[in-house]
Amino acid sequence: MSPLRRLLPSALIGRRLLRGVGMLAFCALSSLAGSAELAPTDAPGDIAPRVAACIACHGREGASGNAAFFPRLAGKPAGYLYNQLLSFRDGRRFNADMVHLVQHLSDDYLREMATYFASLDLPYPPVSATSDTPTEMLARGKTLALQGDTARGIPACTQCHGTALTGVLPGIPPLVGLPRLYLSSQLGAWLTDDRHALAPDCMAAVGRRLTTDDVNAVASWLAMQPVPDRAKPVAALPGPLPMPCSAMPTAAVK
């Protein structure tokens, strides 16, 4: 069994434990789904109570801890969050719970949700500096994250996600402050062609060049990195993108 496959069952167990709580919150948002084709200005009340279902999995105000499976939403670029909500709704990403929540929501509603979570300025939880990952695997992960692998056409994570890996506006997410299981599962989804983005799908191109050992190494190293205080996505890329990417359609490319 591959290292990636060994990681995935633990994530599934976490999802099942949360499902009972989550379904209670799903009912709250589902009750709005029938009228969700309306523009957000037509929906009752402020956006915060209308996205309350999200906290069942993503934690208080979308700021999940680093031991959870689910990713943090608070403070991520609004363009990135919006694109992911569209992808769940339109079939490029596959998660039954997420599809259930957003399948009837309009573009404007999804954009309002993304803007709300992007506006939250909440501290990250402390990151553990210890890991059961072998030292040589962590070293491999660090090399991939900071230098890439030119011989295999794998760019460094920092080339796209920013020097501090805190994301880049408007559409590239941070990689620090995320749980290892989430990182490994999402990198694995690119590798196995189970996750997609609008063309040009740069991460799909990178994912096809990764091995399961690469995925586990870089996910383990990233999950141990300290997060800068009040980390925010930076306004500009550190340089030209290594390849065209739909997340930054107007960015210069090498």
By residue count, the chain amounts to 254
Mean pLDDT score, 92-102: 93
The residues that bridge with 168 in the sheet, in sequence order, are 172, 234
Q: What is the pLDDT of residue 44?
A: 45
Taking all residues of the chain, what is their mean pLDDT, rounded to a whole number? 83
Q: What is the pLDDT of residue 92?
A: 95
Q: What is the pLDDT of residue 160?
A: 97
Residue pLDDT, tens place only, 110-161: 999 999 999 998 888 888 878 889 999 999 999 999 999 999 999 999 999 9
Residue 99 reports pLDDT greater than 80: yes
Crossing angle of the two packed helices 78-90 and 107-119, in degrees rounded to 10? 140
Which class would CATH give 135-223? mainly alpha
Both structure tokens of 248: 């930054």
Higher pLDDT, 227 or 17: 227
Percent of the chain scoring above 90 in pLDDT: 63
User: Which residue has tokens 């997420």?
Assistant: 98
Residue pLDDT, tens place only, 29-72: 443 443 344 344 444 458 888 888 898 888 876 676 666 688 99
Residue 109 reports pLDDT greater than 50: yes
Q: What is the pLDDT of residue 45?
A: 57
Report the C-alpha gap between 44 and 217 in whole angstroms. Answer: 46
Among 30-39, 136-145, 189-198, 213-222, which is the least confidently predicted range? 30-39
Report the C-alpha gap between 73 and 49 in whole angstroms. Answer: 16
Higher pLDDT, 125 or 12: 125
Both structure tokens of 219: 């996910």
Q: Could you say which of 3.30.930.10, 3.30.1490.20, 1.20.58.220, 1.10.760.10 is the CATH number of the domain covering 3-119? A: 1.10.760.10
Enter the DSSP assignment of 6: H
Those residues with Cβ within 8 angstroms of residue 43's Cβ, 6 or more apart along the chain or in another chain: 32, 35, 36, 50, 109
Return the number of other C-beta atoms located less than 10 Å from residue 214's C-beta.
22
Residue 180 reports pLDDT greater than 50: yes
Same fold across 3-119 and 135-223: yes
Q: What is the pLDDT of residue 65?
A: 62
What counts of helices (H) and strands (E) characterise the chain? 11, 0
Q: What is the pLDDT of residue 8?
A: 40
In angstroms, the Cα distances linking 122 to 28, 64, 98, 208, 234 are: 25, 11, 23, 34, 16
Crossing angle of the two packed helices 180-191 and 3-33, in degrees rounded to 10? 100
Report the C-alpha gap between 47 and 40 in whole angstroms. Answer: 8
Alpha carbons within 13 A on the beta-carbon side of 46? 4
Q: What is the pLDDT of residue 126?
A: 84
Residue pLDDT, tens place only, 224-240: 999 988 789 999 999 99
**What confidence tier does 194 reach under pLDDT thresholds 50, 70, 90?**
very high
- Give pTM, 2 decimals: 0.81
Q: What is the pLDDT of residue 9?
A: 40
Q: Please state the domain extents for the chain.
A: 3-119, 135-223
